[in-house]
A and B are shown apart, each in its own frame.
Chain A
Amino acid sequence: MATHINHLLDLEGLSKEEITSYLDLGEHFKGVSQRRIKKVPTLRHITVVLFFIENSTRTKISFEIAAKRMSADTLSFAASSSSLAKGETLLDTAKTLMAMRPDIIVIRHFAAGAPHFLARNVPAAIINAGDGGHAHPTQALLDMFTMREHLGKIEGLEVAIIGDIGHSRVARSNIHGLRTMGANVRVAGPRTFLPPHFNTLGVQVYDRIEPAIEGADVVMMLRIQKERMGKDLFPSDREYARFFGLDAQKLKLAKPGALVMHPGPLNRGVEITPDIADCNNSVILEQVENGVAIRMAVLYQLGKHLVEEA
């Protein structure tokens, strides 16, 4: 079977060089996506399974497009229609899949560590598309790619991440990636969203948005999950928008030309006002485009080593 399997499970273990090579490859694949024929035949012998136990439209489509542009075959596996709903364990489901010989499994799951579990038990290359509150490495890679594209570098940047930090895998992966690349990260949110020991990750923690945004090169707003509103973490949309949402007034505190980013989908009027979501500083739509390019790069990196010896 495979001579050597690589995985992309999270960014904690990646070196600066490894991250840089993903970003550099991303540039080439972005070029491919801008051609008339948005396809290269490189991974035409590879089958990619999209194993999405936790629902997601945009990430799933992004991976699917990326795989197809690499000429790979794709297979989709959704939670509700799966045998998991009938009580089959994750491992049994994965082993059943393996009998069909996929080369790469892209997994999104509610439970942190599910991709690691698969990587230990299943002989395919595993890409983590989001595991619970733990990690979302391709999101962080595409975020860093976007920053580098606009600002020319990542080292030395002041990056503010605002929102439900404690439950956010996007925040965690970005924190690890950005710090490895030498950026300075500030996180902010209401105290109920800030886990107590986050400052041990080497970030500055604020319970107000203003000090975090001040002088920032990048302002990244995280999505507020509506399910959490009105319960024990936060009282209402209105109060969040007023104290922690990004609007033109608060954006003035950042450096001129600061990037406004958001992993999507947006709650317009809650964490970000509509005028700012669409303003000149906003690179939110580019993040989506870059997401495909980065995922092509990841598939390429992991897939190029998989070979069937005749």
Chain B
Amino acid sequence: MRQRIVDCEILDPASGKRFWGYVEWEDGVICEVGQAGLGEAGEVSAGVELISAHGNLLAPSFVDLYADFCEPGFEYRENIASGSAAAAAGGYTHVLLRPDTDPCVDGEDTVRFVLEAGAKAGLVNVLPAGCLSRKLDGESLAEIGEMADAGVVALSEGDRYLKKGGFLRRCMEYGDNFHLPVILTNEDPTLVEGVVHEGVVSAISGLKTSPSVAEEVAVARHIALAELTRAKTHLAKISSAASVRLIKDAKARGVPVTASVAIHNLILNDTSTLGYDPMFKIWPPARSEEDRKLLLEAVIDGTIDSIVSDHSPKATEDKELEFDLAATGALSIELVFPLLNKLVLAEELDLVSAIRAVTVGPRRFLGIAGGEIAKGQPADLVVLDRNTDWELDYFELRSRGRNTPFLGQRFVGRTYLTINRGRVTFRRDG
């Protein structure tokens, strides 16, 4: 079936080109890209179905490198079906899932379970990650070879930090044996007491802290091991300026590392914790305004390659507690574009860098095609409405969770249409 989308301003983030035109695809692969003004359709052959983008922006679809769909084990928060619906609504066609579920993904059985659940939901390409250690015990290797054959795309210990550096080295070497990259989060737990950035604000609030140095130490360790083992390493969810400096230096030296930042760390700073509202309790902590600005610069200059959602749905009763006892994390996957647009409108981030960080960067890390709007590329696309003013209300969200600090807030811009291999997986009504 051939389809053509018209009335769109096409943004190709890899090249930075922007032009009004159309994109036609057949059997999920783009067969033609051309110029056409608003209201024009170009030369259309018979039998081609036309879709209107209503004057909105057309970009490659989003790819997430770090999200929690909570299944198996925590289905009361989210499951792969609801997570997929939320992701498609967020403009995503590919989502890499954290493997630290219960049971965790440490063998071919759980890998197959995740893949089947994703296929059944049929809305996004669910990409499983595999655990590094068996049962997340932090000291024995998981059956990585089997998982590689079963279809994991990367290895990760989720949000856990591997205390035994020697074991992490072995994991990286062994994972590299099967050409699997490693996604590592970065906080040395022996240096922290809580999840609030240690700084002027925490001195006022008295909340338990996590200093930047805990992340810096972890990042340094991971960079050194990546240099030694030459394993492809991704430093996930960077939150501090100090880490950015280390990563920039490592890349300049040719160490095989990439990095990401979670969307909330680009939006919030540590002043958000002053109200003691657990909805703002996230990890990595929102750090100082200076850190936030440097993170934005790092996205623009490419030191940080990707922006991840770090989608972390939690049950309401787990959030409606005192700050110290409340669950950590916020859902985010449906809100990534509205939040990015907020930064673009405030001129803190340019549109091309923003889109590139959720389309080109993640695809490059995973080695998957797309991210470019051109003939022969997969028809993985998203239509972004940059103008509509709207309010986030409780029932908007497709996720099972409701834990976002932005409930009740007004946004400008949201996703309009998500196209996965030529098939529409999300359409905004109204």
Contact = CB atoms under 8 A, between A and B. Distances in A.
Are A and B direct contacts in the complex by CB distance below 8 Å?
yes
Interface string B146-159: 10000000000000
B26 interface: no
A258 to B, nearest CB: 24
Contact of B143 (A208, A231, A236): A236
Interface string B173-215: 1101100000000000000000000000000000000000000
Chain A contact residues: helix, strand, loop or mixed: loop
B19 interface: no
B167 to A, nearest CB: 4
Interface in A181-218: 190-192, 196, 207-208
A238 interface: yes
A101 interface: no
Given A192-B170, A192-B174, A232 B144 contact: no
Interface string B219-240: 0000000001100000000000
A110 interface: no
Interface residues of A, number: 17
A117 interface: no
Interface stretch (B90-98, B134-142, B333-341): B134-142
B344 to A, nearest CB: 43
A232 B173 CA distance: 11
B72 interface: no
A111 interface: no
With a 10 A CB-CB cut-off, give which of B139, B177, B229 has the most chain A CB atoms.
B177
A232 to B, nearest CB: 4
Nearest to B172: A191
A274 to B, nearest CB: 22
A242 B147 CA distance: 13
A61 interface: no
Interface string B124-138: 000000000010000
B428 interface: no
B177 A231 contact: no
Contact of B173 (A191, A230, A235, A236): A191
Given A232-B166, A233-B141, A235-B134, A191 B146 contact: no
B177 A235 contact: no
A192 B142 CA distance: 13
Interface in B325-348: none
A77 B383 CA distance: 80
B144 A235 contact: yes
A239 B173 contact: no
A230 B176 CA distance: 18
Contact of B174 (A191, A236, A242): A191
Contacts of A192: 141, 170, 173-174, 177
A194 to B, nearest CB: 8
A190 B177 contact: yes
A196 B229 CA distance: 9
B307 to A, nearest CB: 32
Nearest to A236: B143
B145 interface: yes
Contact of B145 (A231, A232, A243): A243
A300 interface: no
A234 B167 CA distance: 11
Contacts of A231: 139-141
A100 to B, nearest CB: 44
B161 to A, nearest CB: 16
Nearest to A243: B145
A196 B169 CA distance: 12
Given A191-B177, A208-B177, A236-B143, 18 more contacts: A190-B174, A190-B177, A191-B173, A192-B177, A207-B177, A230-B134, A230-B140, A230-B141, A231-B140, A231-B141, A232-B140, A232-B164, A233-B141, A235-B140, A235-B145, A239-B144, A239-B145, A243-B145
Interface of A: 190-192, 196, 207-208, 230-236, 238-239, 242-243
12 contacts: A191-B176, A192-B141, A192-B177, A208-B177, A230-B140, A231-B139, A231-B140, A232-B141, A232-B166, A234-B141, A235-B141, A243-B145
Interface of B: 134, 139-146, 164, 166-167, 170-171, 173-174, 176-177, 228-229
